[in-house]
Chains A and B, each alone.
Chain A
Amino acid sequence: MADIRCPMCSKPNPEDAEVCQYCQARLKPLVVSSASGPGGSIPPKKPPVSPAKAEHDSALPDWLDRIRSEDENVTEPEEAEAGSAFQPEEAIYGDDKPQPVGKAESSDLPDWLASLGASGTITEPPSEEEKKPAELPAEKNEDEPDWLERIRARQETEGNEPPLGVFITDIPSEPVSSENTHLPNWISSLPEQESAPPPFHEETPVQSTEQPDWLSRLDTGPSPEPGVQPFSNEPEMPDWLSRLSGQEAGGLPEPTQVEPLDARSYQQQPGEEIPDWLSKLESSSAEKDQLPALPALILNDETEDHDILKTEAPAAEGTPDLNALPDWIFNVTAEEPSAGGPSSAEAESEAGLEPAQLPSWLEAMRPIEAAAPLVSSQEDLSAAVEKGGPLAGLRGVLPIDPNISRLRKPSAYSIKLQVPEDQQALVKRLEDLIATEADARSQPRKQSISSQSLLRMFVAIVLFLGILAPMLYDRMYTDQKLLELPGVERITKDISDTNFSLGTLPVGAPVLLAFDYQPGVSAEIEAASAAILDQLISRAAFLTMVSTKPTGPVLGERVLQGINSKRASPYTNYTNLGFIPGGESGLIGFAERPRQVMPYNLKSQEAWSSGPPAGIHKISDFSLVLVFTENSETARSWIEQVQPFLAAQKRPLIMVVSAQVEPLIRPYYEANPKQVNGMVAGLAGGAAYESLTGHPSVARDYWDAFGGGMMAASILILAGMLIYGGIGLFSPVKRAEGEAAK
């Protein structure tokens, strides 16, 4: 029959006991959960044992297996009493998690262990791995090592030593329940606020109005030895803890002053054999010594999640049974935090390491502070003691603000890269290239007189002579023209068609003149159109001038001015409408509605109000449209946009163009039906037209000079062909280059 273990003192009590016969804590909850049934004696459901666990259990020694079986008998009813609010541990962690192992019954414990347990030690059941060494002495009292016996003897001689585990943790050995029914009366009587776990269990005094016996025994225990450093952090108690103590001073007893076991006094005897598990612990402890000292309360960080703690088994915390720990562990844990510097073992281990061979590029990239830190961690830790607030007295819990802590001048980083020589050479070459790029490159000195310039001057002189010589010869010697105008055989059909269209115009007929050429070719166009304009004026045609180029209207005025200069009375039967903007759009707009597009002339007068223009409403009302242009695109625009309106009324469209445009316009003239009814091309066409009409004009004046220039140009080209062609044909170098090119 299993007894009920006291949740506070962990001592067995009879099953029917309401309170602990040792500490007077309530053993049965005041409110029994529904899951426990009326009697609260629902047989605990034994969790299934996994094969791994079974195998593990089989490997345990007999004494440990017996302890575990007894412990399970004790803990399982308690878990069942926890009600449905708590799931069994297997449901949370699975079967892999080691089962919590409670303590063996006190009757089965050896005397030395029972005495330790009676001293008020509150420990957590160790984990599976840690439990093995911890329970060895509990099983075999006779086989326990000598050092443990000496510890017990020392404890017996010194009375009830302070609990060993208080300064480690105060987590109860039994699973913590969220309900107060598991707590003793003196804890249950505490206010609700105080029932919550304090932030730091080690330093929070356990206060109760009803102090249990076991706690009273602790109070009456002997004072700690002078040489033993007490665990209590009384001198370093933070303010918040002091205030808390002061508030509860009235109802709660003074915190128990516990004293750790003076384990440091133990000296290993020569020839004494240290068990393996102790060696492992010692080695792990040595590793801990090498680490920077941490505050003693750091373990409480693990208990922040109180809900988890309440549901977890104590063994999950992994706190070993301190009754079974050797004394050197206490020395480690009871020591004040070291200075934080590296321990001797760490220094030795570092001294044995060879420095790493870093490549040069990596050393160049490494920050200076990273290579040689200027501020040691010791300084940081010493300056990290909190002075106020809930963290007062704690060290290293808050990071130091780097902006505040680093008051020194920031170290200067070297910005100079360690560049190899070959790369420096490349950089220098690039810099030279960039520097020379901005400099003005000196141009090679040109020869004052080169062969090309001589050739250009020679060509110009020959052309001038070819143009001026016939003019001078005519004036000086013959007073006659050297060259005859083109004969009848030179007069082509386009010229004769033009003459026919002009000759059939009625007197005073409205004629539209489009001056769409550039001033640069005005000499050629004016020479070609002079005879035509003379013929129109002779027939008293009303001339309406327009242009799709900004300079066109002035060119028209220039042409009329030239004609009037040869006449006794100026010809005024014309109007100049000016510039038609919009290119082809303006042209088609003018063809459809000339009055709307060009309502005024250059004199800002109504162009269509009086005279012959009064009867013109569309472009086909003109008797003839005459276009002067040197641009094939402009000629095409007139042909494509305006000629359809003229063709509907069978109005002729005559083109006076330069010689270079003739091949592009002639297809429109030779089309069937004709899109251009007549054409005069270039100075030669004008000369032919003058020859046809029998009225010499400007073309006749230009004809001799034109012929002279053409003759000179022909001779120069022929000379160039002979010279350079002969050099190219008979030069071996040129021949080799030509063959290579092929």
Chain B
Amino acid sequence: MRSLRVLLVQWAIILAAFALIVGILNLANVHLTRIRERQVNSGYSLILLVSLVLTITIVGYFRPNGTWSLWIFNNIQVPIESSLVALLAVLLLLAAIQLLRRRLNLFSVILLVTALVALFTTTPLFFLGELPGVNSIHQLLSQVLAVAGARGILLGVALGTILTGVRVLIGADRPYSG
């Protein structure tokens, strides 16, 4: 049975690899259609296709660890995605500032107070250094309260997974039969 399981797993890996290729081809086809039909914002599709072709050509020619391949990655992909994450940080901060403007209640206040404590206790304050008792508060937040909530989430995920499996086994759910 173990050899059969390994065989099936290898088949799944091959299928997944081909699925990735099919996904890339489908993406290219969709954007080719948009360009051919001159749909709205088809210029972005053109940029995508050009980037796809260039990247495949350069990485395929110079290998993934080649100089030009790393240049594309370090100077285009990493900054773009990092900027998106930084933008997320700014938006989260803006939402926290305006939270009481939108919804002024006790839970909003608790959320903001918790965020403030976590920020203050993560790093030492300028010119003040470590405040007494801050570290214990930080550990209480990150290792007790947060972990308690995370365990509840994980237990819920585990129970949900088991229940989903049972429903599939008894035929209550047929996710692959349509």
With both beta carbons as reference points, the residue of chain A lying nearest to B141 in the complex is identified as A663
- The 0/1 profile, CB within 8 Å of A marked 1, for residues 17-44 of chain B is 1001000000000000000000000000
A515 to chain B, nearest CB (A): 12
- The 0/1 profile, CB within 8 Å of A marked 1, for residues 56-97 of chain B is 000000011100011001100110011011000110011011
- The reply on A275 being an interface residue by CB < 8 A is no
Given A724-B98, A738-B104, decide whether A707 and B126 contact each other with a Cβ distance below 8 A. yes
Which positions in A face B, CB cutoff 8 Å?
455-456, 459-460, 463, 470, 482-484, 486-487, 489-490, 492, 518-523, 550-551, 553-555, 557-558, 561, 576, 578, 580-583, 585-586, 588-589, 592-593, 596-597, 602-604, 659, 662-664, 666-667, 670, 684, 703, 706-708, 710-711, 713-714, 716-721, 724-725, 727-729, 734, 738
Contacts of B54 in A (CB 8 A): none
The answer to whether B6 touches A581, judged by C-beta atoms less than 8 angstroms apart, is: no
Contacts of B120 in A (CB 8 A): 710, 714
The answer to whether A667 touches B77, judged by C-beta atoms less than 8 angstroms apart, is: no
The answer to whether B78 touches A728, judged by C-beta atoms less than 8 angstroms apart, is: no
Q: Which residues of chain B (1-29) have a CB below 8 Å from chain A?
A: 6, 9-10, 12-13, 15-17, 20
Chain B interface secondary structure, helix, strand, loop or mixed? helix
Contacts of A576 in B (CB 8 A): 64-65
The answer to whether A664 touches B154, judged by C-beta atoms less than 8 angstroms apart, is: yes
B148 to chain A, nearest CB (A): 9
Contacts of A663 in B (CB 8 A): 142, 146-147, 149-150
With both beta carbons as reference points, the residue of chain B lying nearest to A526 in the complex is identified as B78
Contacts of B101 in A (CB 8 A): 720, 724, 727-728
With both beta carbons as reference points, the residue of chain B lying nearest to A589 in the complex is identified as B9
Distance, CA A51 to CA B109, complexed state (A): 106
Distance, CA A720 to CA B70, complexed state (A): 42
Q: Which residues of chain B (99-155) have a CB below 8 Å from chain A?
A: 99-101, 104, 109, 112, 115-116, 119-120, 122-127, 129-130, 135, 139, 142-143, 146-147, 149-151, 153-154
Distance, CA A484 to CA B154, complexed state (A): 36
A52 to chain B, nearest CB (A): 73
Distance, CA A659 to CA B70, complexed state (A): 27
Distance, CA A188 to CA B34, complexed state (A): 95
Distance, CA A585 to CA B10, complexed state (A): 8
Given A492-B139, A592-B6, decide whether A518 and B123 contact each other with a Cβ distance below 8 A. no
Contacts of B139 in A (CB 8 A): 492
A to B contact number (C-beta, < 8 Å): 186
Q: Taking each of B13, B20, B139, which has the highest tally of chain A beta carbons within 10 Å of its own beta carbon?
A: B13
With both beta carbons as reference points, the residue of chain A lying nearest to B112 in the complex is identified as A721
The answer to whether B81 touches A459, judged by C-beta atoms less than 8 angstroms apart, is: no
The answer to whether A484 touches B124, judged by C-beta atoms less than 8 angstroms apart, is: yes
The answer to whether B77 touches A720, judged by C-beta atoms less than 8 angstroms apart, is: no
- Which range contains the number of B residues in contact with the other chain? 35 or more
Distance, CA A552 to CA B69, complexed state (A): 13
Given A711-B126, A716-B93, decide whether A581 and B100 contact each other with a Cβ distance below 8 A. no
The answer to whether A550 touches B153, judged by C-beta atoms less than 8 angstroms apart, is: no
Contacts of B77 in A (CB 8 A): 519, 551
The answer to whether B112 touches A558, judged by C-beta atoms less than 8 angstroms apart, is: no
Q: What 9 A-B pairs come out closest when comparing CB atoms?
A: A720-B97, A520-B81, A663-B146, A582-B16, A728-B104, A582-B13, A724-B100, A724-B101, A707-B123
Contacts of B149 in A (CB 8 A): 663
The answer to whether A592 touches B123, judged by C-beta atoms less than 8 angstroms apart, is: no
The answer to whether A558 touches B73, judged by C-beta atoms less than 8 angstroms apart, is: yes
Distance, CA A482 to CA B128, complexed state (A): 10
Contacts of A557 in B (CB 8 A): 64-65, 70
Contacts of B63 in A (CB 8 A): 602-604
With both beta carbons as reference points, the residue of chain B lying nearest to A493 in the complex is identified as B143
The answer to whether A716 touches B126, judged by C-beta atoms less than 8 angstroms apart, is: no
Given A582-B12, A585-B13, A720-B99, decide whether A523 and B135 contact each other with a Cβ distance below 8 A. no
B26 to chain A, nearest CB (A): 16
A57 to chain B, nearest CB (A): 82
Q: Which of B12, B97, B124, B135 is the one whose CB lies under 8 Å from A717?
A: B97
Given A667-B154, A725-B109, decide whether A713 and B93 contact each other with a Cβ distance below 8 A. yes
Distance, CA A721 to CA B117, complexed state (A): 14
Contacts of B142 in A (CB 8 A): 662-663
Contacts of B122 in A (CB 8 A): 659, 684, 710
With both beta carbons as reference points, the residue of chain B lying nearest to A521 in the complex is identified as B85
Given A519-B78, A585-B9, A589-B6, decide whether A459 and B64 contact each other with a Cβ distance below 8 A. no
Contacts of A729 in B (CB 8 A): 104
Q: Which of A484, A597, A720 is the one whose CB lies under 8 Å from B100?
A: A720
